[in-house]
Structure 1
Amino acid sequence: MDISGPAKDNKLEVELNRRKNLGPDSIKRRREVASRYKPLHRHLYKLEDKFLSPKFQELVEYARSHHATKEGLVKAISSEAAERVYSFPVFTEDFCRELIEELIHFEQSDLPKGRPNTMNNYGILLNELGFDEEFLTPLRERYLMPLSRLLFPTEGGGDLDSHKAFVVTYKMEEDLDLNYHYDNAEVTLNVSLGKEFIDGVLYFGDMRTEPRREKYTKYVHKPTVGLLHRGQHMHGAMPISDGERYNLIIWMRSSKVRNKLCPMCDQEPELVKSVGYGDGYTRKEELVDVCSTL
């Protein structure tokens, strides 16, 4: 049944107010988590090479070298059926297991938890848990950007100066699937952490700006393995039929790209001040902002 009239207006007002309060609410949650939460695996919060797959480290070492080329990198990684979608192991099994244990430990606490995005109802914002400064930022700058610089040069892959990272969970009686969509990102990394699950394949269509066709390519999640793709590449997740799945998502953003055109509304951004990385926009004084139309 379509919603119209006062009910629709009220729903829009509630959503607008929610978005206006995202920054202040996030700060409150983060402060409370920092003061009250006792991590189960405190060592996970600072990135170490031992957390990373040896294959991933080899790829990054090549991408950093002076002789690296896109063609050479593509030969060394798996190209999926979807155009310019690449897969490779990112983390070790031990790291994924311990991270899931940490996430469950936090889920079971009485601390406030922010919704990861507008589509997923269940998950964790990793910046609020304290992963940004010493884990996610060096992961983006030192490891992921050398790869994206070669694979996605025209999409801002060499200028990814901010990110939003979260873990989404799919469980029976909770979120089972994810509708067809595109990301608020220039480049996205999607890593399957585990646990045991059945079905829930990821599917890709066309780029957002292309005419839609009823043609999709599928990808089966494998624990420890990440998918690197363009944020504007339409995709979705089929329902799981049993078990639980945890996925780490990193939306990486380039202010050089999005300062010119908002990737969500295709308009020149009208910025309002935000906290942290916001939506990845910057003013001349390098304040990170959000687009007021989002």
Structure 2
Amino acid sequence: MSVDGSLERRKQPPPAPSTGNGNGVVPPNLGHYSANRLRLNPNKDHKPDSYEDLQLEFSPFLFSSLEQYLPPSMLRVSRDIKLQYMKHILLRYSPEGERLRVQRHREYRQKIIANYKPLHKELFTMHAENFFVPSFLKAIKDDKEGGFRSIMFQPSPGVYTFEMLQPNFCEMLLSEVESFERWVHHTKYRIMRPNTMNKYGAVLDDFGLETMLNKLMLDFIRPISEVFFPEVGGATLDSHHGFVVEYGTDRDVELGFHVDDSEVTLNVCLGKQFSGGELFFRGVRCDKHVNTETQSEEMLDYSHVPGRAVLHRGRHRHGARATTSGRRVNLLMWCRSAVFRELRKYQKDCSSWCGECQREKKERQRQAVAATKMELLKRDGKPTA
């Protein structure tokens, strides 16, 4: 099996030298700090600075979260130096053309937020008791692995499903998206679609839901991901891309085989009445093995249920079958970790999470054991056939 041309690959530039910013220039005020690496684990006792008062190329929440992973020597320096150090890291993965695109998108978003009047204002701040089902809230409140596992069903390795959203929240979010789309049509604003694969749907962050979704990621999804996806940065999720996608005979019908630009993906069906549209999963792969064959134990077809969430690694290959009738709308959140992406360039072995890397490692171990056994038999003068 091969991943078709619709696969969205993450294009990262080569790592910059440890003392430069990718252009051969050492960022000002960094001095010897520029050679330091991030911590593997966050300093949970450190209270990070706020960056919301600054005009930045990246989300201010990203900087506050990333600050907890700074090397100890940097926690006592000024906010400006910390900011420069973190920008130095983030810009390694964002060439100039991408930064210009981000800046234009930020201006586009600010213009929408300044003019769009929300239909349901209560959606734009986190009201957990009104959003989530009691079982999900209790598991989050208890904050224990056993509580998370008690609400989870794992139909296939690495794919977790659980009841999450209340029907009233699903209905409100659906009507808010419809209201935004009507406003876009009336005002003739150009709507940016969620990604290159979906021609319908909307980016929720673009019309004011960024803060609410960021809290959803940090307070609800990250604790779960820390338990189930630690090897891909589940404990260090610090930014997101939140959007809805729409499927139906007059919308996108299906979604090709692909991987997400995320470390962890949350996918929740909002409704409405529909048939078809099943997700199909085909195993987790690193960049090197993304086109390798699927093993039988990795195959899963999953049918959506409104309010029920699916949580999986972004590198878990998947797609959506055709929606044959009605209309299906899903909330998706691609959760990302700058720490994981920074550390990946030092990572030579992906066997902790890539299915094919695991198989190759086991095969090497099998061959090593067989070779050792053969050598011992030769020493004892026994037949080796």
Pairs aligned (count): 241
Is contact 1:203-1:237 (8 Å) kept?
yes
Secondary structure of 2:165's counterpart equals coil
| TM-fit CA distance, 1:18 | 9.1
Secondary structure of 2:202's counterpart equals strand
> Following the alignment from structure 1 to structure 2, what is the Cα–Cα distance between the partners of residues 141 and 161?
7
Indicate which of 228, 246, 264 corresponds to 1:187: 264
1:31: which partner in 2?
Answer: 110
> Following the alignment from structure 1 to structure 2, what is the Cα–Cα distance between the partners of residues 46 and 160?
20
Secondary structure of 1:260's counterpart equals helix
Q: Unaligned stretches of 5+ in structure 1? A: 1-15, 267-294
Does 1:130 pair with 2:208?
Answer: yes
1:73: which partner in 2?
Answer: 148
Indicate which of 217, 237, 243 corresponds to 1:140: 217
| TM-fit CA distance, 1:123 | 1.1
Against the structure 1 CA distance between its residues 17 and 240, is the aligned structure 2 distance closer, same or farther, given a 3 Å change threshold?
farther
Indicate which of 243, 246, 253 corresponds to 2:329: 246
Q: Deviations over 1:254-282 (max 9, x none)?
A: 111111337xxx9xxxxxxxxxxxxxxxx
Q: Which amino acid aligns with 1:48?
A: H
Q: Which amino acid aligns with 1:235?
A: H
TM-score (norm 1): 0.76
Q: Deviations over 1:15-61 (max 9, x none)?
A: x9996753233223212212221111111111102111111112212
Against the structure 1 CA distance between its residues 214 and 174, is the aligned structure 2 distance closer, same or farther, given a 3 Å change threshold?
farther
Is contact 1:29-1:112 (8 Å) kept?
no
> Following the alignment from structure 2 to structure 1, what is the Cα–Cα distance between the partners of residues 249 and 101?
28
Does 1:178 pair with 2:258?
Answer: no
Does 1:83 pair with 2:157?
Answer: yes
Does 1:55 pair with 2:135?
Answer: yes
1:154: which partner in 2?
Answer: 231
Is contact 1:195-1:244 (8 Å) kept?
yes
Against the structure 1 CA distance between its residues 74 and 46, is the aligned structure 2 distance closer, same or farther, given a 3 Å change threshold?
same
Indicate which of 200, 209, 228 corresponds to 2:311: 228
Is contact 2:222-2:234 (8 Å) kept?
yes
Indicate which of 97, 114, 120 corresponds to 2:192: 114
Structure 1 segments of 4 or more deviating over 4 A? 16-21
Is contact 2:194-2:201 (8 Å) kept?
yes
1:12-23 → structure 2 map (5 Å cutoff) = 22-23=101-102
Against the structure 1 CA distance between its residues 20 and 177, is the aligned structure 2 distance closer, same or farther, given a 3 Å change threshold?
farther
How much is the aligned-residue C-alpha RMSD, in angstroms?
2.2
1:44: which partner in 2?
Answer: 123
Further displaced range: 35-44 or 18-27: 18-27
Percent sequence identity over aligned pairs: 35
Is contact 1:191-1:227 (8 Å) kept?
yes
Higher strand share: 1
1:247-286 → structure 2 map (5 Å cutoff) = 247-261=330-344
Q: Deviations over 1:174-206 (max 9, x none)?
A: 211100111111111001011111101000001
> Following the alignment from structure 2 to structure 1, what is the Cα–Cα distance between the partners of residues 173 and 282?
31
> Following the alignment from structure 2 to structure 1, what is the Cα–Cα distance between the partners of residues 201 and 127?
24
> Following the alignment from structure 1 to structure 2, what is the Cα–Cα distance between the partners of residues 233 and 31?
33
Against the structure 1 CA distance between its residues 224 and 101, is the aligned structure 2 distance closer, same or farther, given a 3 Å change threshold?
same
Is contact 1:26-1:114 (8 Å) kept?
no
Against the structure 1 CA distance between its residues 22 and 166, is the aligned structure 2 distance closer, same or farther, given a 3 Å change threshold?
farther
Against the structure 1 CA distance between its residues 76 and 38, is the aligned structure 2 distance closer, same or farther, given a 3 Å change threshold?
closer
Does 1:218 pair with 2:301?
Answer: yes
Secondary structure of 1:261's counterpart equals helix
